[in-house]
Amino acid sequence: MPTDEVLHHFSEDPSIERFVPHVPRTNPGQPPAVWAIDTDHAPLYWFPRDCPRVTAWPRRPDDVPAFRTAWHTVAHRVHAIEARWLDRLRTVVLYRYDLPATAFRPWPEAEGQWISRRTVEPVSVHPVGDLLALHTRSRVELRSTPSLWPLWDLARAGPWSFSIVRMRNAAPRP
């Protein structure tokens, strides 16, 4: 059971009345489920749906020095997108659905992810607002880069947590 009363789902569609279990197109080996994210990991979804991104954050306080050195930052997390997605990030209208946490159980394959095998009705839906401002207010470093591939390599190489999403939409590796 999550510590939050609600979990979240982010979408560009403001009219979802219920979430029905489905097999993800990007992970066809999974059984049908409804997917949600906890509040601590919600920043992983502050992007247009199809936007490729690399995100990283220290796992433990002892990892902070290595994280700061490797990522050249004092931020508590780093998010990176390709520069060609910046205009879309500025203009997308994203909605946060709040879902009842009692309907979900942890998905062990990823931090902060939760699944339900049954249909779930949202408790509420809210526009997220300006995603650049949200990153700034949350003290998340947002990078715009010509290529995500060097950061993809870095994210997978160190003692930190990371999430790599939608790389099939990224520019080819140089």
Over residues 1-53, the pLDDT tens digits come to 456 799 999 999 999 999 999 998 888 999 999 999 999 999 999 999 999 99
pLDDT, one tens digit per residue, over 101-154 is 999 999 998 889 999 999 999 999 999 999 999 999 999 999 999 999 999 999
By three-state DSSP, how is residue 43 classified? helix
pLDDT band at 96 (very low <50, low <70, confident <90, very high): very high
Q: What is the pLDDT of residue 26?
A: 81
Residue 3's pLDDT is: 61
pLDDT of residue 2: 53
Confidence of residue 159 (pLDDT cuts 50, 70, 90): very high
Residue 72: pLDDT band with limits 50, 70, 90: very high
105-106 sheet: strands from edge to edge:
105-106, 113-116, 34-37, 6-11, 95-100, 124-127
Q: Are 19 and 9 contacting, i.e. CB atoms less than 8 angstroms apart?
A: yes
Backbone angles phi, psi at 16, to 5 degrees: -75, 120
CA distance 37 to 165: 14
What's at 28, amino acid-wise? P
pLDDT of residue 61: 95
CA distances, 135 to each of 72, 99, 103, 169 (Å):
18, 23, 29, 22
Q: How is residue 156 annotated by DSSP? A: H
The answer to whether the beta carbons of residues 100 and 123 sit under 8 Å apart is: yes
